[in-house]
Amino acid sequence: MIKKCPKCGSTKIIYDENAGEFKCAECGYVIEEGLIDRGPEWRAYDDTQRILRARADPSPSLGSKISIGSLYIKDKSGRRLSSEKNRKFKRMVRTQRYLQYEDRSLMDAEIEIDRIVSSLRLPPIVKNEAFKYYKKARELNLIKGKSSAGFASACILAACKSLERIVCDLDELVKHSRVSDKDLRKYYKTLIEHKIITAVRPSKPLQFIPSIASKLGLPMEVQRLAIQILHKIDETKKFQSKTPKGVAAASLYISSVILNEKRKQSEVAKAANIATPTLRKNLKNILEVINIEVQI
């Protein structure tokens, strides 16, 4: 005997005699279907009534052919539900049956994309772009047999890279997603290989300034000076091969010291999700280029 719903965990399980199904009274989930009550649908109080009312056994296929529109649902005590509750329950059952097919995976992907985008505090346009990429991948049958959550995360990364001035930290994305860094990169590469997205240029240090400054609580004056420093060092083309986050963090640290808004190196490194030695190395290189003395 089924004791609780595998979908929501409710213990309110009812049996629909007409459809031959066990359903959850809370969420409408069809737990088991195709069940036929082999007993008679009538009562007999003596042998005479039993002989007169007996008929052939029902066909095993009848249960699957009964339309849900002809059902009238009863509660666990056997009383009929009100018309409004009956309509609501039927609607829940129809929805559950509908979602058991392919569209359910699409809905789950949309929920996953929405969850990650909200966790990373990305703008709504990222969600729309990511879901568009996911549907394209699904149309090309790339997701079948693979992780839908992995493709959802890869589509979010692709959306951020395709949109200007929106930075998605890969480490943060892996942290909030349900896949490893290796799988995320693999699924992202698959999107490029099948031309769902085009390969984009690497991120620039300028794109990381707002997010790092926000975590450190630095004012706009510090950000503006950091941007000026980045423009200055960009002319030398010496930092093109460096990690963008590291260069951005170093320029913010220098500008914060100059404007008396200094933060600890460990705090800056943590906000940029880089190692403190990496921050110090970038500080040394930048100071050599802009030719100023700063106590670090």
- H or E element in which residue 51 lies: helix 47-53
In degrees, to the nearest 5, what angle opens at C-alpha 274 toward C-alphas 287 and 174?
150
Q: What is the pTM of this model?
A: 0.49
Fold classification of 102-193 (topology level): Cyclin A; domain 1 (1.10.472)
What is the torsional sign of CA 250, 252, 253, 259?
positive
Please check the confidence at residue 128 and state whether its pLDDT lies above 50.
Answer: yes
pLDDT tens, residue by residue, 155-214? 999 998 888 667 777 888 888 888 898 999 899 999 999 988 886 666 788 888 888 998
Token digits for 10? 């409710």
Which alpha helices (DSSP H) does 164-243 contain, by range? 170-176, 181-193, 209-216, 220-234
Residue 103's identity, in one-letter code, is D
CB 65 within 8 A of CB 19: no
Give the bridge partners for 22, in sequence order. Answer: 15, 32
Measured CA to CA, the distance from residue 71 to residue 20 in angstroms comes to: 11
Give the other-Cβ count within 10 Å of 291's Cβ.
Answer: 7
Reduce the DSSP state of residue 31 to 3 states and report it.
strand
Classify burial at 78, counting beta carbons within 10 Å of its beta carbon; exposed 0-12, middle 13-18, buried 19 or more. exposed
Highest mean pLDDT among 10-14, 101-105, 229-233: 229-233
Residue 228's identity, in one-letter code, is Q
In degrees, to the nearest 5, what angle opens at C-alpha 216 toward C-alphas 114 and 232?
100
Q: Which CATH superfamily includes the segment(s) 205-290?
A: Cyclin-like (1.10.472.10)
Cβ partners under 8 Å of residue 156, min gap 6: 113, 116, 117, 120, 122, 126, 130, 168, 173
- H or E element in which residue 248 lies: helix 244-258
Give the other-Cβ count within 10 Å of 278's Cβ.
Answer: 17
How remote is the C-alpha of 259 from its chain's centroid? 41
Please check the confidence at residue 56 and state whether its pLDDT lies above 60.
Answer: no
Measured CA to CA, the distance from residue 56 to residue 72 in angstroms comes to: 24
Assess whether the region 102-193 and the region 205-290 belong to the same CATH fold.
yes
Percentage, residues of the chain above pLDDT 90 = 19
Q: pLDDT higher for 289 or 33?
A: 289
Q: pLDDT higher for 35 or 85?
A: 85
Domain boundaries, the chain: 13-99, 102-193, 205-290
Please check the confidence at residue 283 and state whether its pLDDT lies above 50.
Answer: yes
